[in-house]
Chains A and B, each alone.
Chain A
Amino acid sequence: MSDQTVSPETADPAASAEFAVPSAPAAWVVGPATRTDFVRYQGASGDMNPIHHDEEFAKGAGFPTPFAVGMWQASLLGTYATDWLGAENVRNFRIRFLEQVWPGDTLTCSGEVTKQYLQDGERRVDVELTCLRQTGGKAVTVWATFVVPEPGTDQENSHG
């Protein structure tokens, strides 16, 4: 399920620095996605575009049903990644939206380290995060950078 992503072993060794990075958690399966998931995200974010909850509106726009706000599935990857590496450690989060997510979809969120290095006196790690639909199609890809705190500091682990 993660065969489309770069494994840590293939990252450029010249760019790596030696420090321990927490292992990626097991893939996180979310779903089946419901219209309630979409509506809850919309209510919480303030984007009330009816194309994400109104059947008639979505059909009128040429879609078979409402579909998820792209930022919902992108933020699921945020949840996965911050559980892994700590919410206060995220420095960059770059999102590419690919396939739409539909009611009934089962999503699998996973991530892998692509690079670890020292920058600005901080230990950093780049990760590639992928949200796959049950079809195998990619819904979202995220490239994120996290700081990896020194052991024993406050920010070492936020989510026991």
Chain B
Amino acid sequence: MDKIPDNRAWWLVLPVFLLVAFSALIPLMTVVNYSVQDIFGPGQAYYVGAEWFKEVLADERLQDSLIRQFVFSGFVLLIQIPLGIGVALMMPKSGIKGSLCLILIAIPLLIPWNVVGTIWQIFARGDIGLFGWGINQLGIDYNYTGDTLDAWLTVLLMDVWHWTPLVALLCYSGLRAIPEAFYQAAEIDRASKWAVFRYIQLPRLKSVLIIAVLLRFMDSFMIYIEPFVLTGGGPGSSTTFLSQTLTTMAIGQFDLGRAAAFSLIYFLIVLLISWLFFTAITHADKEK
């Protein structure tokens, strides 16, 4: 078939272009717009170049909450990924027990974010919360509203409780997709349990683990409601994570220029780290 060159064909790209424009480019451009101008009101905008970016990057409050955010996401991944794999490995393979297990494990995923925050806010209280009261009864001084470490542990525990099921469910689906023949061959080859995990299960979980790591990183890096409801960012600013700082800046102080500049940096960090994870995992064992 002969190809006829006709530039009008470019019009066919229009629907996709419009879709992308409305879903991503136009909303994003408003933020870009604010990030390079100082806007006082309609018709009163002054171009400030990279000024906001420089200010934001030098802002110690933001630097602190960025570091806090990285530490938090790091712990989330370190705890939830291995724990999720472990839970998936221990779940019954099939039958009524398997279904029951799936439902029970999925329950935290169905609870709205702010409810999760509220649940833990009460659950972990020393006076009326079962968890907080129980810990105190064990003779451990625990108070998440006053103690930084306690507040951190509570926020982490809440996130682990809320989101490990997601990792577990993803891994469970990955594990079920491994044909029985692999386990039979391993049994015949006298492979140890560890070898079965290392050489059969883990390699075959790779694709779901990429998804799990990316989802958990992005979600935890953008976490807002749960710690906001649970600790309100305190004590002090010890559990104030990035999006809370950003919200305070944009809505509390109405500092739109800096908030916009910081939003862009925030977005680029999420994008960059996700890309790094993805490339690192997919290229980890390429052909020698």
A binds B: no
A contact residues vs B (CB 8 Å cutoff): none
